[in-house]
Structure 1
């Protein structure tokens, strides 16, 4: 999504851009098939040569549709996935995904739920009180949903332990058999707490850092750079006013310590960016908004 002249413009879903890290060149490919609608806040991941996109928000609100494309056959044909068993999560955006045992494991997000689906005793959903419309609420959740591409099926695992507070716009990473989340928006606050879900036993635990932690934030990225270390970058924070940040931090899950990472680009803060790990634990950051996107129409 891009803001132009105070209007939000969704970028097309019918093209894919490929960047050659060695040559420093871009190439665009035009896609066919069941092209996803133009959306923001979708969750994407790459598994077994395929790109999966789930959820997001378009002009009609949040969605719970999933799309897939093979990135290696050179055809770039989108395919909408209809599950053979199980039910997809409720419509949502700003969620995260872990990859483990060839499955896609989704956590959290913000979206719409019918009143009939909200249990007053449940801790899985916090309603945004200002969002009530006739038979539904919008709000934050801490649900875990698993998609198995080989079976084309959804399921909801029974988790144990104390789950994180419902949230959206957090960041996640997978280390070994564990999925981690950091920060995000919890109601009107932005946090930097760290939670871990064991993807074998489905047990939650919270990690209490033994050092100074980054300021709370949302719309940041968390990238696994080794078997024990994750790199946090950027985001949107709240300290009496909303502001962008460009700092970077390393978190070691064994020592439970944060270390601020010095880099020369702190004058280029951003949120809504994407990040991935390349060779030699390099983290590649692309795009995002260099000013709070709801206030200023500046996009990197």
Structure 2
């Protein structure tokens, strides 16, 4: 644990975080005053960990929102969707903003959007790319991932329903298209994660179901064949929602934190454990590392033989131990 200084962001939920060139950016979220559209940045490599508020030099930032997602591509941060508020005069396209009919005050309306906004850290500029094609419905609490030059969106909440549909945005041509799966699809959900595990594979885990129940199922989607495959794993009794996930070594997926309850109804069930999902067979080198590191302390003979492990293998084993 390290002490962070500078322009530290206020306590928030529903923010959107991403990393680019060693810098971690967080945008949006909900603080004590409601949704925000502030952007903060901290360098994770310099050992100083000083936050700074990022002020743009040109363009207009997105309206205040939370539960959005982000793609990182070609040195830029590309944000999609979310739930937030707009003034009535700014709602000029019913296709991009779906009003929440029970949430409005005077001329300020809350709702879901499917807008695409881009931030360029080099020029500190915001822009709103013009997209074409079949764009997804406005939504929030969805999951997204970048794969090559494409950004994928899966599921999320659209008004009172939750979906498991998949859309793709070509980040070079800015063209949307829907991917219609060729097999059984997961149940609709929100607050789940989607993680790239190969050049064509995406791993989906957990979330909140249509009937507001925490989920623990895992699925793998092949973007080439357009097929879903349910993934067996040892954590079926440990549901998660609003967690984080990232790709680890050898296509592992590491899931951390979140909640095992519907957090809007019960303020308990917060989690701080990590689960590792093995999505691909491990190479022989990895198997050797794991076996030696796991058993060296319990086997005196193996412990004595450790210094004779091949030089290429020894540093990796010592690091794991």
The TM-score normalised by the length of structure 2 is 0.83
The answer for the alignment partner of 1:50 in structure 2 is 23
Q: Which has the higher contact order (CA 8 A, sep 6+)?
A: 1
The alignment yields a C-alpha RMSD, in angstroms, of 0.6
* 1:176 and 2:148 are equivalent in the alignment: yes
Name the structure with the higher helix share: 2
Structure-2 separation of matches of 1:187 and 1:122: 14
Equivalent residue of 1:233, what SS? strand
Name the structure with the higher strand share: 1
Equivalent residue of 1:132, what SS? strand
Structure-2 separation of matches of 1:106 and 1:99: 9
Select the structure of larger CA radius of gyration: 2
* 1:298 and 2:269 are equivalent in the alignment: yes
Equivalent residue of 1:280, what SS? helix
Answer with 121-130 or 46-55: which moved more. 121-130
* 1:106 and 2:106 are equivalent in the alignment: no
The answer for the alignment partner of 1:198 in structure 2 is 170
Equivalent residue of 2:202, what SS? strand
The answer for the alignment partner of 1:237 in structure 2 is 209
Structure-2 separation of matches of 1:162 and 1:61: 31
The answer for the alignment partner of 1:223 in structure 2 is 195
Equivalent residue of 1:44, what SS? strand
Q: Residue 213 of structure 1: which of 182, 185, 191 is its match? A: 185
Superposed CA deviations along residues 222-257 of structure 1, whole A, max 9, x for unmatched, are 00111111000000002xx31010000000000000
What's the CA shift for 1:59? 1.0
Structure-2 separation of matches of 1:71 and 1:234: 28
The answer for the alignment partner of 1:94 in structure 2 is 67
Structure-2 separation of matches of 1:127 and 1:242: 22
Equivalent residue of 1:130, what SS? strand
Structure 2's unaligned 5+ residue stretches are: 272-321
The answer for the alignment partner of 2:100 in structure 1 is 128
The answer for the alignment partner of 2:9 in structure 1 is 36
What's the CA shift for 1:73? 0.3
Equivalences for residues 147-158 of structure 1 within 5 A: 147-158=119-130
Q: Residue 55 of structure 2: which of 77, 82, 95 is its match? A: 82
Structure-1 separation of matches of 2:148 and 2:102: 40
The answer for the alignment partner of 2:139 in structure 1 is 167
Superposed CA deviations along residues 160-212 of structure 1, whole A, max 9, x for unmatched, are 01210000000000110000000000111000000000000000000000000
The answer for the alignment partner of 1:259 in structure 2 is 229
Equivalent residue of 1:242, what SS? coil
The answer for the alignment partner of 1:144 in structure 2 is 116
Structure-2 separation of matches of 1:73 and 1:288: 28
Structure-2 separation of matches of 1:74 and 1:84: 28
Q: Which runs of 4+ in 1 moved over 2 A?
A: none
What's the CA shift for 1:122? 3.1
* 1:284 and 2:257 are equivalent in the alignment: no
Structure-2 separation of matches of 1:299 and 1:38: 16
How many equivalent residue pairs? 270
Structure-1 separation of matches of 2:47 and 2:219: 37
Equivalent residue of 1:195, what SS? strand
